[in-house]
A and B are shown apart, each in its own frame.
Chain A
Amino acid sequence: MNAPSVPASQPATPGAAMIRTLGLVATVCGILIVTAYQGTLESVAANKKIALERAVFKVIPGASSVKEFVAGTGGVRPAGGSVPEGAVKFYAAYDQAGVLKGLAAEGAAKGYADTVRVLYAYDPEKQAITGLGVVSMRETPGIGDKIYTDAAFLKNFVALDAKLGGDLKSLANSIKVMKHGTRQNPWEIDAIAGATVTSKAVGKGINESAQKLLPLLVPHLDTLQGGQ
C-alpha cells in the first residue's frame, strides 16, 4: 500500500492528540449509532409484529389478530418480558369476532445445514397440528426448501394427530417422521424423498415443542377463549 501522505511533516504525534482524536471520533460515532437506533426503533418493532402476524395468519387461516402467551407450570398468561424457565411461548390467533381460531408455536431442530425453525398451528378442537410454516432455515435450495413448497409434504400437516395421553403429561403418540411412502398412522409424517434430514428436523422440532407445550397448555385452554 502507498505510504500515507497524511501529515508527513510531523515527526511523531503526541499521545494526547491521538487519544483526543479517537475520543472525538468515537463520540461522533456514538451519537450517530444512538440516533439511528432511536429513529428506527418504532418501525423495527412494527415490522417484527407484522412479520409475526403474517407468519401466524399463514398457518391459521381466517385469523385477524394475534396475541402472545406463555404457558408455564402456573398456567397460561399473556407474554411480557422474559419467558420464565420451563415455560413455553405460543401465539393465540383470533378472528374478528374475538373467537379463538387456533394456536401456533415454534419448534426448532438441527437440519442438514443449520437449525430449521418452524411455526406450527395447533387446533384445540381437533387436538391436531393443522398447519406448518418455516420461520428460518438454511437448507439446500431446491432440496431442503421442499418443506414449504412440496404440496404432498404439507398435506401431512392438515390434521397431524397430537392428542395428549390419559395422564395429560405427554402426547399419546409422539410425532414421528417416516421414510417416504411408509406413513401409516395419523401421528406420522411422510418424509420428502431426497430431503429426509430436513423432513426429520421438522418432525423433531414439532414433537419436542408439542411435548413440552401441550401438557402445560391444554388444561388451561378455557382462559384463551374470547381473550380479546
Chain B
Amino acid sequence: MSIPGQKPLSNLEELLEGVWKQNPVFVMVLGMCPTLAVSVSAMNAVSMGLATTFVLLGSTLLVSLLRNVIPKEVRIATYILIIATFVTVVDYLIQAISLAVYDALGAFIQLIVVNCIILGRAEAHASKNPPLKAVLNALGMGVGFTLGLFALGGVREILGAGKLFGISLFGPDFQPWVVMVLPPGGFFVLGAWLLLFNWLNSRKAAPVKPVEGHAHV
C-alpha cells in the first residue's frame, strides 16, 4: 500500500486486500467490540457488517476527495466529523428499514464512530490515495468485515440457537448450546476461526511478508 518502494497495488488487488490478505477480523483483529457483541445471529452480523461497510465507503470517499485540502493538524478531527456524519446517516437509514434490526444492534450502531477499522482506513489509506483506490480498498475491508462477522454470527446462531437466519435447522429435538450466544461463545468461536486462519497461513510455505504498521486501537 503506502510502504515506500513497494509497487502500487492494482485495483483488483486493492479490493481483495481487505477481503482476504488483510481481513479486518481474522488478520488485523480490529473492531473486536462490535464483532464479539453483535455476532449472536447471522442476521445481526450481516446487518452490522453492511452498516459498517456503508460508513467505510462514505467516509473514505469523502476523506480521499478532501485529502489535499485537509490540514494535517486537524485531520483527525475532520475524519471523526466525517465518520460521525455517516454513522448518523446509517443510524436513520436502519431505523427506516427495520426497527427490529435497529433494536437488535442497539448502541453498536452509534459505536461505529469509534470503530478502529474506519479511522484506520481514513488515516492509513484514504488520506493518501485517490478516490477510486480508496473506495475499492474500503469496499474490500467492508466485505471482509461483513464476512468475518458472518463467520462468527453464523456459527454462533447454528450452535447456540439451532437456526440460521432465523430458520430452524435441526428440528425440535436439538438442544441449543446456549453458551454460544452468550459472551463467552463469541470468544470461543473467534478463537477457533483465528486458529484456522493462522494454521492456513502457516501452511503456506511462502516467506512471511512484513505486516503494514496499523494502529491497534
Partner of A6, one of B127, B181, B215: B127
Is the beta-carbon distance between A142 and B75 smaller than 8 angstroms?
A: no
Task: With both chains docked as a complex, state the minimum distance between the C-beta of B85 and any C-beta of chain A, in angstroms.
Answer: 4
How many chain B residues sit at the interface, stated as a range, is 35 or more
Task: Tally inter-chain residue pairs, CB-CB below 8 A.
Answer: 95
Contact A44 to B92, CB < 8 A, known contacts A51-B99, A141-B182? yes
- Is the CB–CB distance between B128 and A5 below 8 Å? yes
A47 CB contacts on chain B under 8 angstroms: 95-96, 98-99
Q: Is A148 an interface residue (CB 8 A)?
A: no
Cβ–Cβ contact B93 & A6, under 8 A: no
Asked if residues A37 and B92 are in contact (CB atoms below 8 Å), the reply is: yes
Q: Are A4 and B75 also in contact (CB < 8 A) when A25-B81, A51-B99 are?
A: yes
Closest to A33 in B: B88
Residue of B69, B70, B73, B99 with most partner-chain A CB within 10 A: B70
Q: Given contacts A26-B81, A136-B103, is CB(A6)–CB(B67) below 8 Å?
A: yes
Contact A22 B74 (CB under 8 A): yes
Residues of chain A within 8 A of B182, CB atoms compared: 140-142
Q: Which residue of A lies closest to B85 (CB)?
A: A29
Neighbouring A residues of B181 by C-beta, 8 Å: 141-142
Q: How far is the CB of B116 from chain A (nearest CB, A)?
A: 12
Cα A33 to Cα B124 in complex, Å, equals: 26
Chain B hits for A141, CB < 8 A: 40, 160-161, 178, 181-182
Contacts A1-B215, A26-B81, A33-B85 given; does A21 touch B69 at CB 8 Å: yes
* Contact of B82 with A29 in the complex, beta carbons under 8 Å: yes
* Contact residue among A7, A24, A43, A51 (Cβ-Cβ distance under 8 Å from B72): A7
| A40 & B73 in contact (Cβ 8 Å cutoff) | no
Question: For chain B residues 35-77, which have a beta carbon within 8 Å of chain A?
Answer: 40, 62, 66-75, 77
- Interface SS of B by simple majority: helix
In the complex, A57 Cα to B74 Cα: how many Å? 53
Given contacts A2-B2, A36-B88, A48-B99, contact A29 B81 (CB under 8 A): yes
Say yes or no for A82: interface residue by CB 8 A criterion. no
Chain A residues with Cβ below 8 Å from B161 are 141
- CB-defined contacts of A43 to chain B, threshold 8 Å: 96-97
Closest to B181 in A: A141
Chain A positions 92-149 with a Cβ under 8 Å from a chain B Cβ: 136, 140-143
> Closest Cβ of chain A: how far from B110's Cβ, in Å?
13
The CA of A136 and the CA of B102, in the complex, are separated in Å by 12
Q: How far is the CB of B66 from chain A (nearest CB, A)?
A: 7
CA distance A29 to B99 in the complex (A): 25
* A151 interface hit (Cβ, 8 Å): no
Enumerate A29-70 residues with CB–CB distance to B below 8 Å: 29, 32-33, 36-37, 39-40, 43-44, 47-48, 51
Chain A residues near B92 (CB-CB < 8 A): 36-37, 39-40, 44
Closest 9 CB pairs of A and B: A142-B178, A13-B71, A29-B85, A40-B96, A36-B89, A43-B96, A40-B92, A44-B95, A36-B92
Instruction: Write the residues of chain B forming the contact surface with A, with a CB cutoff of 8 angstroms.
Output: 2, 40, 62, 66-75, 77-78, 81-82, 84-86, 88-89, 92-93, 95-100, 103, 123-124, 127-128, 160-161, 176, 178, 181-182, 213-215
Given pairs A28-B62, A29-B81, A33-B88, 4 additional interface contacts (CB within 8 A) = A5-B128, A21-B74, A43-B97, A141-B181
A contacts, CB < 8 Å to B: 1-2, 4-7, 13, 17-18, 21-22, 24-26, 28-29, 32-33, 36-37, 39-40, 43-44, 47-48, 51, 136, 140-143
